[in-house]
Amino acid sequence: MSPVNDDVMVFVVLAAGLRPVMAPVSPRDGNIDIRVVPESTWRSVGAVLTTNVYGMPDDADELRTRCDRMGIPLLEDAAHAIGTTVGDRPIGTFGKAAAFSLGKHAGATGGGFLALEDPADRKALEHLRDELLAPRQLHRDLAYALRPLARAAVQRLHLVRPVWRVMRTLGLLERERFRMELQERHLREAAGRSPDLGAFDRWVRVDLHGYRREHGRLLRRTLRRRMSGLDTDLSRRREGTRLLGGTVWAAAGVRSAVGDRGVPPLFRVPLMVRDRDKLVARLERCGVVIGYLYDPPLDDFAGPEFVEPSPAPEAARWFAAHALPVDPLLARRMMRLLQREAPQPADPFPGPALRDQSPRV
């Protein structure tokens, strides 16, 4: 798996009783760089997990070919990548299974779906899901159904900054900076009990405490309504990606994707800037809170006791330190702010020239 990833993902892998093995990534887009993965790593892993970080596609075709050769499954994390394609083929159709998140593109507050290669696996997975879920609760359903409306109201009333500051003051935000606290002692204990999702609850529930709660009718209806707006959401994302992807700051992978025929409907557009953290602070003062910052990479965050470090960590560190993930739905406002703030583009990654790495999309 890529170390440029949400911290919850490392805890999910640990909860499954597995050891997360970090892959080298491409500085073009932050996804696994298959050309730099050593043979010894290929021989040591039991599965490959993609990220499709911010909606930019992994080399899914190549990864699948390689996984088939090794006799191991490819699993696709498509949380950021509803609507992303490689050629004409959607992300989510390359692996044995793919997980999609409705909390991202559809603007819902949780929920998701699995896409399976073999329909015969469905029954067993439904059974596992039912074993893991806690019974539904009406008041939680109501809270989850109302949350996207509350979020939209806060944005429309320009209350993002005060609300965010109040939440921080009240200790309601679970990440001090971009990563949650590792809680090493507790993690060591939990690792001794894995596989066991419950043992990892304190980490896995971050951002979504009700993640194991079964959805009731009200929430399902809300999710269905939000999903019906998905095509409009994706076209707006393509527009925003086209605008931001044409700027000097856009990550190399995004720039070439935008130059191609089909612009991807990115979840976030990674812009590579020199003093990223200072810019994040300045944007906060303007009421724009930037999320989904995966810095430091997961191997630096969790350490070798819990994860297998990448054999070539530099590109992940560079990408994680410079990426500013901008919501393409806010592209016009962000373009005005970026023109005013005029951040310096990040110095190029001091590895092999980016132009030597062929575009993926």
Ligand X SMILES: Cc1ncc(COP(=O)(O)O)c(C=O)c1O
Binding site for ligand X (CB under 6 A): 5-6, 8-9, 51, 77, 79-80, 101, 103, 112, 208
Instruction: Report, in Å, the least distance between residue 164 CB and ligand X.
Output: 17
Instruction: Report, in Å, the least distance between residue 30 CB and ligand X.
Output: 10
Instruction: Report, in Å, the least distance between residue 28 CB and ligand X.
Output: 17
3-state secondary structure of 340: helix
Degrees, nearest 5: CA angle 266-271-272: 145
Instruction: Report, in Å, the least distance between residue 40 CB and ligand X.
Output: 26
CB 241 within 8 A of CB 258: yes
Question: Tokens for 22?
Answer: 């970090």
C-beta closer to ligand X: residue 101 or 247:
101
Question: Tokens for 317?
Answer: 């560190």
C-beta closer to ligand X: residue 80 or 237:
80
C-beta closer to ligand X: residue 223 or 263:
223
**Conformational region of residue 110, where left means phi above 0, alpha means psi within -120 to 50, and beta covers everything else:** left
Residue closest to 315 by CA, chosen among 37, 45, 14: 37
CB 53 within 8 A of CB 75: no
Residue at token pair 């809680």: 183
C-beta closer to ligand X: residue 265 or 343:
265
Instruction: Report, in Å, the least distance between residue 204 CB and ligand X.
Output: 9
Instruction: Report, in Å, the least distance between residue 179 CB and ligand X.
Output: 12
C-beta closer to ligand X: residue 60 or 79:
79
Compute the distance between CA of residue 37 and CA of residue 114 in angstroms, rounded to an integer: 27
C-beta closer to ligand X: residue 163 or 208:
208
CB 136 within 8 A of CB 215: yes
| Position with the least CB separation from ligand X | 101
Compute the distance between CA of residue 338 and CA of residue 330 in angstroms, rounded to an integer: 12
Distance (Å) of CA 242 to CA 119, 328, 359:
36, 9, 17
Instruction: Report, in Å, the least distance between residue 207 CB and ligand X.
Output: 6
C-beta closer to ligand X: residue 83 or 343:
83
